[in-house]
Amino acid sequence: MKRCPALFFAITLIILSALICSEQNDKTRFTENETSALKVLAGVTQLFKQAAPRIWQGYDLSARTYLFYMPDKWALLVNSPSQVKGFQPYPKDFPDLGCPALYHPGKYDDLVGQLAFNFQVDTFQTIAIGVPEALLANFADPQVYLFGFVCHEAFHQFQYEAFGEIPWAREELYPILDERNSALAYIEMRLLMDALKSAYAGQRKQVEEQLEQFVAVRKYRWQTADAFVSKFEQGLEIREGTAQYVQIKSVVLFKDLPLDKLKDTAVLSLQDEFQTISMPDYLINDFQARITEGAISPDDMPRNRIYPVGSTLGLLMDYLNIDWKKKVQHDCPNFSFADLLVAQLGIESDQAAQLLSKAEKKYDIKKINETTEKLINDYRGGYEDELKSFDAQPGYRMEISFGYQSISRSRSSSCKRWTMRQGEICLCRHYNVYSLKNKDFSFTLTNNGLYEETDWQEKKKKIVFFTDEISGIALDDAAFSVDQIQKKPFDRIKIFGKNFEFSFAGDGEISVSDNLISVRF
């Protein structure tokens, strides 16, 4: 029997095609955001392999173990030990991260998108960095954002382990409606922006003059404002300012990192996304994002402005060749950027009044005061409008009121947070994730708004949110529907529904009236 070459060739093609298709089907298919996240992790590894000491001595994300996860999809233990309970080998068809890693499919533990510091994994603690896919859509350059975010947040875990005791004060208590304090803080920002521009223009004398004025304004403001202000800002500039410095430094260094010997095309393509970044514009834009109409809005006063302020102070310290990192790391309670600048620049106390007056005149303090007053009045009115809109939502109104001794809170949001009555009230119309937790109590809310009222002295809290679906209620392990409850005591309770889960192991009472569900314990 003669062989038919054409038939043999056709059969061979079919078999090869089947094998190729089978291999392709076996490969993990990622969403665009998952692919971006894995490229970022590989890029972070390459950056720290080459430049870790230039960022912060002892902080090396090419060696430190951290957990990165995408909620409900997978979790990765980056720079991991060889074996960890609950994790399996990193899949061979995943992109190469350039470092050892372990893989956990699906949801890991109770992680739903929040950041978790000192997070327990098997026998050790690390940071868990969660990135909901929807969050990345909020950014014009999601890969640049995510790269900086990983470097910034993992640095907080390093702070826990390597820094001294960082001063702390509760953010909600900050006097955001203090007109004079806000106006002077704006002048500080303008001085730092100008000093940054001068530094990148190589104008050292101007940098020193602008920093002398900054010190005079800062010292006067901290001495004349509520005593809470200096303690709070000192701690936050150390905690968040240094982390933002690490973020900015990492992004800028990665842009120009020599990768010519690297064969990983994923990391090379990631670097292309960074080429539009230029300094000082990249950091100046960060300042501008915290400025409204030539002043600082109340909601940017306690925290948001600290990020560019702290990072710029660090970069200017580098420019002046000041050895500041060891000082801030090992002497947190006594460290302030202003004190270090006084010593470095030789500023005399009798110069302070003249330098303050010069700065106020240069930036027109009268106009700043007028704008600040307007922004404060607008803020009060805006809160009232937002509260009315929040209260008018359809669906079930959930109110949970409780006392507590200690509780951990995690919040993630790119939406405006309204704070009133010096921190007693906080309203945010959209949290990506909001969670409260202690040994008896757990509450998680995703992609929803929440009103929060706190009595800091009595340690009592009420949270309010709306939902259009209650999926289940369990009181002492017995199931109930909403219409079966008018008022019932409980020793244990669990409620879950659209975008939320709540549980408490302890006695309390639940009541239902029309669409209001109230829980007290």
Q: What interhelical angle do 204-224 and 179-200 show, nearest 10?
A: 160
3-class SS of residue 34? helix
For residue 19, pLDDT over 70 is answered with: no
Asked if residue 443 lies in contact with residue 504, where contact means CB atoms within 8 angstroms, the answer is no
Strands of the sheet containing 124-130, edge to edge, are 88-89, 101-105, 74-78, 66-70, 124-130, 116-121
Among 513, 478, 510, 499, CA closest to 400: 510
Average pLDDT value for residue range 323-340: 95
Q: What is the DSSP secondary-structure string of 259-307?
A: -TT---HHHHHHHHTTTT--TTHHHHHHHHTT-BTTB--GGGTTTTTHH
Q: What is the pLDDT of residue 172?
A: 87
Backbone angles phi, psi at 3, to 5 degrees: -80, 145
For residue 320, pLDDT over 60 is answered with: yes
Asked if residue 75 lies in contact with residue 91, where contact means CB atoms within 8 angstroms, the answer is no
Q: What is the pLDDT of residue 6?
A: 52
For residue 427, pLDDT over 60 is answered with: yes
Report the alpha-carbon distance of residue 229 to residue 302 in Å, rounded.
Answer: 9
Structure confidence by residue, pLDDT tens digits, 452-486: 999 999 999 999 999 999 999 999 999 999 999 99
For residue 14, pLDDT over 70 is answered with: no
- Dig out the tokens for 164 from the structure: 């001294």
Name the residue type at position 444. Answer: T
Go through 466-478 and write b for each residue having 16 or more CB atoms within 10 A of its CB, e for each that does not: bbeebeebebeee
Distance of CA 488 to the CA centre of its chain: 39
Residue with tokens 């709306």: 466
Report the alpha-carbon distance of residue 176 to residue 170 in Å, rounded.
Answer: 13
Numbers of helices and strands, H then E, in the chain? 15, 17
- Dig out the tokens for 277 from the structure: 């970044």
Q: What is the pLDDT of residue 27?
A: 56
Q: What is the pLDDT of residue 274?
A: 95
Longest dimension (CA), the chain: 110
Which class for 140: exposed (0-12), middle (13-18), buried (19 or more C-beta within 10 A)? exposed
Structure confidence by residue, pLDDT tens digits, 26-82: 456 889 999 999 999 999 999 999 999 999 999 999 999 999 999 999 999 999 988
Q: What is the pLDDT of residue 1?
A: 44
Which helix (H) or strand (E) segment holds residue 344: the answer is helix 337-345
Q: How many CB atoms lie within 10 A of CB 312?
A: 28
Structure confidence by residue, pLDDT tens digits, 227-261: 999 999 999 999 999 999 999 999 999 999 998 76
DSSP 333: G
Report the alpha-carbon distance of residue 24 to residue 58 in Å, rounded.
Answer: 42
Report the alpha-carbon distance of residue 192 to residue 207 in Å, rounded.
Answer: 9
* pLDDT > 70: percent of the chain: 94
Average pLDDT value for the chain: 93
- Dig out the tokens for 22 from the structure: 């089978």
For residue 3, pLDDT over 50 is answered with: no
- Dig out the tokens for 348 from the structure: 């005399």
Which helix (H) or strand (E) segment holds residue 494: the answer is strand 487-497
Q: What is the DSSP secondary-structure string of 63-90?
A: TS-EEEEETTTEEEEET--S--TT-EEP
Asked if residue 34 lies in contact with residue 70, where contact means CB atoms within 8 angstroms, the answer is yes
Average pLDDT value for residue range 394-411: 94
Among 214, 218, 216, CA closest to 351: 216
Q: Residue 205: which pLDDT band, with cuts at 50, 70 and 90?
A: very high
Q: Residue 25: which pLDDT band, with cuts at 50, 70 and 90?
A: very low
For residue 99, pLDDT over 80 is answered with: yes
Beta strands in 396-486 (DSSP E): 396-403, 408-412, 417-420, 425-437, 441-455, 460-467, 470-475, 478-480
Q: How many CB atoms lie within 10 A of CB 252?
A: 18
Report the alpha-carbon distance of residue 408 to residue 436 in Å, rounded.
Answer: 6
Q: Residue 21: which pLDDT band, with cuts at 50, 70 and 90?
A: very low
Structure confidence by residue, pLDDT tens digits, 351-390: 999 999 999 999 999 999 999 999 999 999 999 999 999 9
Q: What is the pLDDT of residue 8?
A: 47
Among 175, 297, 153, CA closest to 229: 175
Measured CA to CA in angstroms, residue 255 lies from 278, 287, 407 at distances of 9, 21, 40
Report the alpha-carbon distance of residue 451 to residue 429 in Å, rounded.
Answer: 8
- Dig out the tokens for 154 from the structure: 């993992």
Average pLDDT value for residue range 490-507: 97
Among 99, 50, 48, 52, CA closest to 78: 99
Backbone angles phi, psi at 28, to 5 degrees: -70, 135
Of residues 394 and 16, more confidence is placed in 394
- Dig out the tokens for 506 from the structure: 């302890």
500-513/478-480 β-pairing: unpaired
For residue 9, pLDDT over 60 is answered with: no
- Dig out the tokens for 495 from the structure: 């409620």
Find all residues with CB under 8 Å of 440, minimum gap 6, and list them: 504, 505, 506
Q: What is the pLDDT of residue 331?
A: 93
Average pLDDT value for residue range 106-120: 94
